[in-house]
Amino acid sequence: MGTSIRVELWHEDPLMGEAAMAAVMEEMHRIDRAMSPFKPESELSRLNREGAKAPVPVSEEMFELIARSIGFSKLSEGAFDITFASVGCMFDYRKGIKPTAEKIAAALPGIDYRHIRLDRRQRTIEFARDNVQIDLGGIAKGYAVDNCVALLKSRGVKEALVMAGGDSRVLGDKRGRPWMIGIRDPRLKDAVVAMIPLVDAAISTSGDYERYFEMDGVRYHHILDPRTGLSATGARSVTIVGPDATTTEGISKSVFIMGPERGIRFAESLAGIDAVVIDGDGKMHYTAGLCRESSQHTQRKTEA
């Protein structure tokens, strides 16, 4: 998945705790083998190669995750769209390579989640046109985190943190206190702009600093606006708090592409979701729920 993995947990039996951590890492590698667009042998790569030619039989896991991705696309009115890869595959952020405007214009019609045709009865996926590519990078890490938390629960773990890059989920609390998850400053690598207390919740941050390069004063990053095929503007980072990491990751990408004002309104329309958006000028925006929690926390400290 091209990211760092962190696991922290408590278990009365050290050997069982070590085994649980090893199982988490194996599950992360398993999902990466299936869903990486960079591994030619992965199930996702096979779908990208064959999807425009004929319906492709896929695993139940792949089918359901793509179906859920389309659900986020519908919910966000197209802001979240895994077919962004139809253009995104032409960027190389490590080498600082971007496609020409002509190439983007030619590939842009391939970006539309409605090009993905699902046949639940046959459990196949087909693309409605040529040159469609999908990338699960906006949801697969959150899905992997959720799978690993479920795996830890099944092994009797009651307090844990699982983190894959910007996507985290906490199980229970941290020995009687909330887990404190920091939101990093988008422009200062080692600085934190806010701390979020969490118990039995998930948090995802999407930022323009994760994979990017700069050219002629423009920052080209990996979160592409499906309407333009170019890096979304208006936000530096978006953090979403919610019940599970698959949801928070999908919503974080959606809000990032929508921008601060529309994105905050969108997040506030969703039950159990809160958001922190750092806009293009570095100003922080919160959903009303987080503002209330912050105010109550301050009041409790004053009373104490």
What local confidence, expressed as pLDDT, does residue 289 receive?
A: 83
List, in sequence order, every beta strand (DSSP E) within 208-292: 212-215, 218-221, 235-242, 274-279, 284-286
In this predicted structure, the answer to whether residue 296 has a pLDDT above a threshold of 50 is: no
In this predicted structure, the answer to whether residue 303 has a pLDDT above a threshold of 80 is: no
Own/partner contacts of 9-13, CB < 8 Å, gap of 24 or more, are 9/152, 9/157, 9/159, 9/160, 9/161, 9/171, 10/157, 10/158, 10/159, 10/160, 10/175, 11/156, 11/157
pLDDT band at 12 (very low <50, low <70, confident <90, very high): very high
Q: Quick one: which of 262, 206, 251, 254 has its CA closest to 226?
A: 254
Task: Give the separation between CA 268 and CA 64, rounded to whole angstroms.
Answer: 26
Mean pLDDT of all residues in the chain?
94
Would you state the structure tokens that stand for residue 100, as one six-digit string? 């020409």
What local confidence, expressed as pLDDT, does residue 292 receive?
A: 59
222-236 burial: b if 16+ Cβ within 10 Å, else e:
bbbbbeebbbbbbbb
What local confidence, expressed as pLDDT, does residue 291 receive?
A: 67
In this predicted structure, the answer to whether residue 257 has a pLDDT above a threshold of 70 is: yes
In this predicted structure, the answer to whether residue 302 has a pLDDT above a threshold of 90 is: no
What local confidence, expressed as pLDDT, does residue 1 receive?
A: 64
Entry pTM: 0.93
Q: What is the CATH number of domain 158-303?
A: 3.10.520.10
